[in-house]
Structure 1
Amino acid sequence: MPRYRLRIEYDGTPYVGWQRQENGHSVQGAIEAAVLSLTGETVSIRGAGRTDSGVHALGQVAHVDLARTWKEHTLRNALNAHLMLAGERTVVLDAAEVPGDFDARFSAVRRHYLYRIISRRAPLALEANRAWFVTRELDHDVMHAAGQVLVGRHDFSTFRAAQCQANSPVRTIDRLEVTRSGELIEIRVSAQSFLHNQIRSFAGTLKLAGEGKWTVEDVRAALEARDRKACGPVAPPEGLYFLAVDY
Structure 2
Amino acid sequence: MGLLVSLQEIDREVLALRVLKDELPAKIAAVRDRLDQAEAEQAAARGALDQMGRDHRDREAKLEETKAHIGRLKNRTGEIKTNTAYFAHLKEIESAEKQRTAVEDEILGLMEKIEGAEKELSAHDAKVTEEIAGFEGRRRELEVEYAHVDGEVEEKTKAREKLAGSLDPVLLSRYEIIRVQMRGTAVVPARNATCAGCRMRLPPQLFNQVREGRSIIDCPHCHRILYWNPSA
TM-score category by the smaller chain? under 0.3
Q: Which has the higher helix share?
A: 2
Larger Rg: 2
TM-score, normalised via structure 1 length: 0.21
